[in-house]
Structure 1
Amino acid sequence: MPLNSINTNAGALIALQNLNTTNSELGVVQQRINTGKKVGTAKDNGAIWAMAKNQSATASSLNSVKDSLQRGQSTIDVALAAGDAITDLLGKMKEKVLAASDTSLNTASFNALQADFVSLRDQITKAATNAKFNGASVADSTTQKLSFLANTDGSQFTVNVQDLTLTGLGLSGTFTFTTAADAKTKLADLDKAIGTATNKLAALGTSSTGLDTHLTFVGKLQDSLEAGVGNLVDADLAKESAKLQSLQTKQQLGVQALSIANQSTSSILSLFR
């Protein structure tokens, strides 16, 4: 038989305990809805929080990898643009040489062809030396290779430099002709230079494709990491919304139960009337 006491109201204490539990659960659900996360701090779940933080750091650091790879793409794109111009210049030089090999030309025409040839030759040097992006080039002999970030562990994606200068194409800075017969002998040199240039551009194209492929992979990897972190810490808002409704109803009932429990001791007064 329960004790009728005005000092201790066991029913009110139980109702209060249940109401406090409900309020605590309601606070957790409201925080999840406000933040969108079921694990927002280490207090919520230390192991999951630490795992999510580590993976988030990895995903964020991949931005640096993507930036580096994109710089590599731009560097190669600039070199390819210069290479296209250089192959066009070599073709025009071949036209001038072929025209100058005609022995029926007068001196003025020959000299004009020779001047045009020298101008085209010098443009090749300018195109190769100016093919830089952010101060780096894969089209001249200033370096043998360039390396770009490939992963968060510091591993590198290496691009071999393809020297498109006159020297790299097997020609000299003074490459020219002085007579019609001399001009004819330069045809073979130019054919070889054109072949060398196209092979070097093909190699750069292969490197560019490799960078594109790896950049796509890094982007997918980053997306997968971010999705994985979301699976660990994100709250299911539909579920939390349903739970919120339930807890709010439970809270109201708890308040009523506590009120009833508090009123129960007033019945003792009737014993003294």
Structure 2
Amino acid sequence: MGSSLLTNSSAMTALQTLGSVSAQLATTQNRISTGQRVATASDNAAYWSIATSMRSDNAALSAVSDSLGLSAATVDTEYTALTSVIGDKESGLTKLQALLVEAKTAGIDRTKIQADITQIQQDMKLKANSATFNGINWLSTTTGTTPTSFNLVSSYSRVGGTPTIGSITVTTANYTLYSTTQTGILDTVSGSASVDTINISALTDSAASYGGIWVMTV
């Protein structure tokens, strides 16, 4: 009397071994194709949940990194322009201050000094107008178009299951040098003139006229 598969222990053992090998092979192939040991919740629910959160955080951190790069580039653009406007002994506000002090010298040709002042005024305004990055300019603003403040992404964190994006708020008015309403730091009118429009060519050696010469502290 012959043996059936159900009563042949050797055949049953071989079948179970083949089944186990097939399952392990499928698992191995899945790990190779996904590159992950825990690819589904059924592999390990706890690890799968942690891995899913970490992948989400990694994507968020990548986006935050890009935003930080944009924020840094924006600040660098504004800082570079502002530093250039402040200038040194050869340019910018620093040079302008020196010229205003020089203009108090008796008998000096103030018309020639004004020519230098005018050039500096134009140069400072050009630098402020050019300080634009990604459509943002804090130094030269247009009322109704330029936002009153900007939020710069500064950090990312996760507390429990709640992700948080940190930001730094920049108030535009604190940095505006020129504006269309003439409320910027350099075009605000004080007395009869602003830094942007000051003209000393008509002043005389009279001490009374010196009130029209601004001596700025940079």
- Aligned to 1:92, the other structure's residue is in SS state helix
How has the CA–CA distance of structure 1 residues 85 and 180 changed in structure 2, closer, same or farther, with 3 Å as cutoff? farther
Structure with the bigger RCO (C-alpha within 8 Å, sep 6+) is 1
Shift of 1:36: 3.4
Alpha-carbon distance between aligned partners in 2 of 1:121 and 1:143, rounded to the nearest angstrom:
25
Q: Distance in 1 between matches of 2:198 and 2:147?
A: 24
Q: 1:59, CA displacement in angstroms?
A: 1.5
Asked if 1:96 corresponds to 2:95, the answer is no
Unaligned runs of 5+ in 1: 195-273
Gaps spanning 5+ residues in structure 2: where? 157-162
Which residue of structure 2 lines up, in the alignment, with residue 242 of structure 1? none
Matches within 5 A, 1:35-54: 35-54=34-53
Percent sequence identity over aligned pairs: 25
SS of the residue 2:164 aligns to: coil
Q: How many residues align?
A: 185
How far apart are 1:119 and its partner, in Å? 2.1
CA distance in 2, matches of 1:134, 1:26: 52
- Offset of 1:123 from its aligned partner? 2.2
Show the counterpart of 2:160.
none
* CA distance in structure 2 between the partners assigned to 1:101 and 1:184 by the alignment: 10
Q: Which has the higher helix share?
A: 1
1:133-212 matches, cutoff 5 A: 133-141=133-141, 142-149=146-153, 150-151=155-156, 153-161=164-172, 162-165=175-178, 167-169=184-186, 172=194, 173-177=196-200, 178-181=202-205, 182=209, 186-188=213-215, 190-191=216-217, 194=218
Query: How does 1:117-136 map onto structure 2 within 5 Å?
Result: 117-136=117-136
Q: Which moved more, 1:86-95 or 1:40-49?
A: 40-49
Larger proportion of strand: 2
Partner residue of 1:6?
3
Give the aligned residue type for 1:104. G
TM-score using structure 1 length: 0.58
The 2-side partners of 1:94 and 1:137 are apart by 25
Q: What is the CA distance between 1:38 and its match in structure 2?
A: 1.0
Which structure's CA Rg is the greater one?
Answer: 1
